[in-house]
Amino acid sequence: MTSTRKLLSPTHFRPIPTIVHNSLADDTQLNSIAPFCPKDICGLATDLIKSYFDMGSIEEARMLFDEMSHRDVVTWTAMITGYNSCNHHGRAWSVFCEMLRYGTRSNEFTLSAVLKTCKGLSALLCGKLVHGLAIKNGTQGSSIYVDNALMDVYATVAWTVQEWFLRVSLTRMLSHEQRDAYGGLRAFRQMLLEEGELSPFSFSIAVRACASTGLGNLGKQVHAAVINHGFESNLPVMNSILDMYFKSCSACEAKQLFFEISQKDTITWNTLIAGFETLDPKQSFCIFSQMVSEGFSPNCFTFTSVVAACGNLAFLYCGQQLHRGIFRRGFNNNLALSNALIDMYGKCGNITDSHKIFSQIAMQKFGLLDFHDDWIWGSWAWKRSY
């Protein structure tokens, strides 16, 4: 008791410093302090769920989660993370699917948590689905948590780290960041030196990188590597190489490769027609005729390229024949194709039909009246003259 009295005795306390005493007595400083804001029910329940998982009380955490009338993204993420920590990856994936059904938008922490789930399940397909969601949400490339989790999944489950880097480089390369194309090529070269396992997708990325950077000689080396690895029968890869040769202004190599491809699809024909559109428009017509004669059905992209070639040659009669074919197939409402027809008629000197198509687009797409059509048409014609 004596010791207790000594501890409670005011003589054993040091006096409060003057500066502290003055600050406590200052009403203005007290009023400037932000008031304490307690968490709402959802936040408190989420903290309690985390505590349950920390103690290993999985069923109690789920019971509390089911009783919650409102759940935000933090609550869903806490459930996924909690199940992962207890190695219940199947339950974590079920919670994520349930969250998507409820329409809750995932954030970077949710995606990184569910990617750990995919790793725990060794589920590459699930990882790819989450990867697609990350691209759609814009979190890939902007969140280090998501990027690291993606790399961890692909490196653990299926791919090498270099192949993952190739995929990231392609995604950014399609956003016109050329430096990422060079980065992808460096990763591809490293994979070749290390004799790593290469897939057709890896070669497609490398070929596209060569096309975007205009490195035709390097593209030929990649083509040789494709043959050495036995992927010359892979049509998507060969279509990429065909496009690369045209973008590198190697039309002869492209044409030779086209005839070497035994099994062609519509993309193969479209790539060749579009490649010769500006280099040799007459070749585009010949290839288009051959395509139709061999039983392939031209699509909107095919007609867009052929119509553009027709405009480059100023062949009005051929352009009109193509226009009839477009109308018969029901492609006349395609905006890109309509723009190609407007351009073709304008280059052939048929301003009347060009204006007619333009007016139809204005009415269908924007609901504009004739007065507005004339004004926009004049603006378009003025821009085309420069």
Which of 45-54, 105-114, 115-124, 173-182 is the least confident region? 173-182
- CA dist., res. 343 & res. 239, Å (int): 28
| pTM of structure | 0.53
Confidence of residue 17 (pLDDT cuts 50, 70, 90): low
| Average pLDDT score over residue span 34-51 | 76
Phi, psi dihedral angles at 101 (to 5 degrees): -65, -35
- For 61-112, how does the pLDDT look when each residue is reduced to its tens digit (9 = 90+)? 999 999 888 899 999 999 999 999 999 999 999 999 999 998 889 999 999 9
Tokens coding 69: 């009338």
Sign of CA dihedral 270, 274, 279, 285: positive
pLDDT at 181: 66
Which of 2-6, 221-225, 370-374 is the least confident region? 2-6
Any idea what DSSP says for residue 33?
Answer: S
Tokens coding 276: 């010769």
The H or E element that residue 67 is part of is helix 58-67
| Average pLDDT score over residue span 144-171 | 65
Q: Could you tell me which residues come within 8 angstroms of residue 360 by beta carbon, excluding any fewer than 6 positions away? A: 338
Cβ atoms < 10 Å from Cβ of 350:
15
pLDDT at 155: 64
- CA dist., res. 83 & res. 80, Å (int): 5
Mean pLDDT, all residues of the chain: 79
- For 322-364, how does the pLDDT look when each residue is reduced to its tens digit (9 = 90+)? 999 998 888 888 888 888 899 899 888 888 888 888 888 777 6
User: What CATH number was assigned to the domain covering residues 40-158?
Assistant: 1.25.40
How would you label 218-244 residue by residue, b for 16+ Cβ within 10 Å and e otherwise? bbbebbeebeebebbebeebbbbbbbb
- CA dist., res. 284 & res. 179, Å (int): 33
SS3 content of the chain, % helix, strand, coil (to 5): 75, 0, 25
